[in-house]
Amino acid sequence: MREPARAGLAGGREALNAAFWDLGLRFQWDAATWGVLVQMEGLEAQIAYYLGHWQPHLLAVYDPAFLARLVESRVAAPGNGRMGMEAFSRS
């Protein structure tokens, strides 16, 4: 299975799942879900597809581009604890 095309997402699904948890997002991508998403070009497309198909109610609250930026930031600089979405509020 190929890794996401975007740079900076080393660690694949495990790194993304850790970032989701750290950001307080209540979803994890299992191997079957990842098998679908990994074929897409870029994290924003993956998140948009995932939310649209498995958690459409979240699209009323979260913009996929915004979430992709948050997750990419978290993957690039992982912490040792849960940060929460409040740390990434818009100005």
Per-residue pLDDT of the chain (91 residues; tens, 9 = 90+): 444 444 336 689 999 999 999 999 999 999 999 999 999 999 999 999 999 999 999 999 999 999 999 999 999 987 765 555 555 555 4
Where along the chain do its domains lie? 12-76
3-state helix, strand, coil in the chain (%, to 5): 55, 0, 45
pLDDT at 19: 95
Would the pTM of this model clear 0.95, i.e. be above it?
A: no
Of 62, 68, 53, 87, residue with least CA distance to 4: 68
What kind of fold does domain 12-76 have according to CATH? DNA polymerase; domain 1 (1.10.150)
Task: Give the H/E segment covering residue 19.
Answer: helix 12-22
pLDDT at 14: 95
pLDDT at 3: 45
pLDDT at 6: 44
